[in-house]
Amino acid sequence: MKRGLSMLCSIIMLLIVSACVKGAEEDLYKVVYKSEEVDIEVEDKQNTEYSIAIIPKLINIPYFNAVEEGALKAGKDLGVHVIYKGPRTAEPSQQIQIINEFIEGGEVDVIAVSANDPEKLVPVLKKAKQHNIRVITWDADTMPEGREFFINMVHPETLGRHLMDTLAWNTGEEGEFAIMTGANSAANLNEWLKWIKVQHKEYYPSMSLVEVAATDDDPHKAYTIAKRLIADYPNLKGIIGNSSVGPPAAAQAVQEAGKNGEIAVVGLSPPNDMNEYLKNDAAQVVTLWSPKKLGYLTVALSRNILSNYLPYDNQDIPGVGKIRMMNDMVIMGEPIDFVKENVDQYDF
């Protein structure tokens, strides 16, 4: 009896002891359930190794200079190498040449281009794509097959209609007006032009469009055209500058003609160029977005696609704010109107 008990005890002890030994070998923590491993973030590539090429329509005009400023700031903020290089004139062929240089150089990861021609650039952009370069467009789009997405500053309909409205406010909704656009081939300008005409047709029957003149974004040419328009159309009540070169040229021409306030000048232009004209009534309203912001956004989105992080609607881009996304078009925000009261607030 006693012996039997002691034997039983020893067997139980053996079980307990073996359990203890097993326990000691285990880890401090035993995973019971795992829904997912917490990612320990792996930097895909050092930011500084990325090179992003930003190609404007042309360089050395204030608008694109402001873009460059924003782009370079973004490059600094995000730690990527930004190469800002564009043609001296708004020629598609020069842009093609620059793009080819980038492809041959083989150092850039993204090409973001503001296209001077929606179709002519497509082959070279496709070629870039074959060389593992991501391609997006900004400011002015190409055909969709040439790029991944397009960064638009504002919604073209909103902008086009708004430009027409700003002119109408300042002419009493009547009289003759002319439009100075950039290059005839620029897709974005043509889109805005379309909506200006639609708005005109819909709401302002008393106003008449007398001419649409192309400046090719050449300030000198634009100035010449403005002078010609004022001379050609004595009843001219207003000029819409459809590209950033237009309003300063038109305002200068109006001022020189001594017709401040008589011929309304509105359109797209950076406020710095127009500061003086706005204050002396040579121009009434200029509309634009922040080209710095555009440059910043372009670099930021370029950086994101390198991490395969595509833009989406309502995305909050640090340093830019919320963006909208419509199909494959990013819309940066709403247009800003610059008038003499607020023009000092802006620095571009």
Name the site residues for other proteins (rule: CB under 8 A).
Answer: 1, 3-4, 7-8, 11-12, 15, 23, 26-38, 40, 69-70, 73, 77-78, 289-290, 292-293, 296, 316-322, 333, 336, 342, 345-348
Nearest residue (CB) to other proteins, 8 versus 231: 8
The token duo for 270 is 């950076």
d(Cα 58, Cα 146) in Å, to the nearest integer? Answer: 20
* Min CB(34)–other proteins separation in Å: 4
Nearest residue (CB) to other proteins, 199 versus 244: 244
Nearest residue (CB) to other proteins, 53 versus 320: 320
* Min CB(319)–other proteins separation in Å: 5
* Min CB(233)–other proteins separation in Å: 34
Report whether 277 contacts 248 (CB < 8 A). Answer: yes
CA-to-CA dists, residue 282 to 165, 239, 279, angstroms:
18, 11, 8
Q: What is the DSSP string of 47-72?
A: GGG-EEEEE-S-SSSHHHHHHHHHHH
Nearest residue (CB) to other proteins, 21 versus 31: 31
d(Cα 297, Cα 303) in Å, to the nearest integer? Answer: 10
* Min CB(345)–other proteins separation in Å: 5
d(Cα 268, Cα 287) in Å, to the nearest integer? Answer: 5
Q: For residue 65, which phi and psi values (nearest 5 degrees)?
A: -65, -40
Nearest residue (CB) to other proteins, 28 versus 234: 28
* Min CB(37)–other proteins separation in Å: 6
